[in-house]
A and B are shown apart, each in its own frame.
Chain A
Amino acid sequence: MKKYTLKKPADGLHIVHPQRFQIDYKNELNKAQYETVTSVNGPHLIIAGAGTGKTRTIVYRVAYLVELGVKPEHILMLTFTRKAAQEMLRRASILLDHRCERVSGGTFHSFANSILRKYSNLIGYERNFTILDQGDAEDVMSLIRTRLKLDTRERRFPRKETLYGLYSRSVNTMTSLNQMLSIDYPHYLEDEPDIRKVHELYTEYKITHNTMDYDDLLLNFNKLLKQNEPVRAESSNHFKYIMVDEYQDTNKLQAEMIKLLAFKHQNIMVVGDDSQAIYAFRGATIRNILDFPEEFPSCKTIKLEENYRSTQAILNVANEILKRAID
Chain B
Amino acid sequence: MSARHKYLKTLFTNKSEGNLPQLIIAENENLQSKFVVQKILELREEGIPLEEISVLFRSSFLSFDLEIELAKSNIPFRKFGGFKFIETAHVKDMIAYLRVLENPRDVVAWNRILLIIDGVGPRSAEKIIEDILHRRADKANFWKDYNRYPQSVRELFELLKSISTDKLPPAEKASRIITYYHPMMKKKFDDHTKRKKDLEMFEQIAERYKDVGSFLTDLVLEPPNESIADIEPVGSDDEYLTLSTIHSAKGLEWHSVFIVYALDGRFPTMYAANNVEELEEERRLMYVACTRAKEYLFITYPINIYDRESGTILTKPSRFLEGLNEKLLEPWVVDEEG
Task: Show the binding face of A for B, using Cβ within 8 Å.
Answer: 47-52, 55, 80-82, 84, 107, 109-110, 113, 126, 128-133, 135-136, 139-140, 143, 205, 208-211, 245-246, 249, 274-281, 286, 290, 303, 305-322, 324-327
Contact = CB atoms under 8 A, between A and B. Distances in A.
Interface in B251-293: 251, 253, 276-281, 283-288, 290-291, 293
Given A131-B220, A315-B291, 13 more contacts: A50-B11, A55-B251, A80-B250, A81-B222, A143-B108, A211-B105, A274-B7, A275-B9, A310-B11, A310-B295, A311-B295, A321-B320, A322-B284
Interface string B1-23: 11111110111111111111100
Interface of B: 1-7, 9-21, 86-87, 92, 99, 102-103, 105-109, 111-112, 213, 216-217, 220-222, 246-247, 250-251, 253, 276-281, 283-288, 290-291, 293-295, 297, 320-321, 324-325, 328-329
Contacts of A290: 5
Contact of B109 (A130, A315, A317, A325): A130
B227 to A, nearest CB: 16
5 contacts: A107-B222, A245-B251, A286-B1, A290-B5, A306-B12
B10 A313 contact: no
A311 B15 contact: yes
B294 to A, nearest CB: 6
Nearest to B283: A325
A290 B216 CA distance: 36
A313 B19 CA distance: 6
B102 A128 contact: yes
Contact of A312 (B12, B253, B321): B12
A320 B329 CA distance: 10
A271 B264 CA distance: 32
Nearest to B86: A133
Q: Which 6 A-B pairs have the closest CB atoms?
A: A311-B18, A50-B291, A307-B13, A315-B11, A130-B103, A313-B18
B7 A130 contact: no
Contact of B320 (A110, A143, A324): A324
A317 B290 contact: yes
A180 B151 CA distance: 48
A306 B107 contact: no
